[in-house]
Amino acid sequence: MPITYKKKEGGFIFAYFRQTINFIHYGKESIKEYKNGDFAVIWKQNLCIHAAECVKALPAVYNPKAKPWIVAENTSIEELKAQINKCPSGALSYKK
């Protein structure tokens, strides 16, 4: 199974197995929260494999070219939960 190594800015290096999506991380973890009322979308940048499943499913919410790139208010909490549960890397999660 091939392993991909990527060097991120600031010396952050990670590896993952393309098929099983197991992660090895070295460096500072980056976690961001985007709110919709009491509901928060949590994005762990270091886990993201940029499969763009979130962008394809909810383009009104996820726009990688915008700042902030997640606007959780643009859809219902139920739609957000359903989409977040489909994130292939586990980089997206939520809390109430």
pLDDT at residue 71 is higher than 80: yes
Is residue 49 in a domain? Answer: yes
pLDDT-derived band at 92, boundaries 50, 70, 90: very high
The neighbouring-strand residues paired with 5 are 15
Is residue 65 in a domain? Answer: yes
Is the CB of residue 44 less than 8 Å from the CB of residue 50? no
Quick one: what percent of the chain has pLDDT higher than 90? Answer: 62
pLDDT reported for residue 9: 54
| E strand segments, 1-96 | 3-7, 13-17, 23-26, 31-36, 39-44, 92-95
Is residue 33 in a domain? Answer: yes
CATH number for the domain that contains residue 62: 3.30.70.20
Considering the chain, what is the average pLDDT of its residues?
A: 81
State how far the Cα of 45 lies from the Cα of 70, in Å rounded to an integer.
Answer: 12
pLDDT at residue 59 is higher than 70: yes
Is residue 16 in a domain? Answer: no
Is residue 59 in a domain? Answer: yes
Number of domains into which the chain is organized: 1
What pTM does this model have?
Answer: 0.70
Is residue 19 in a domain? Answer: no
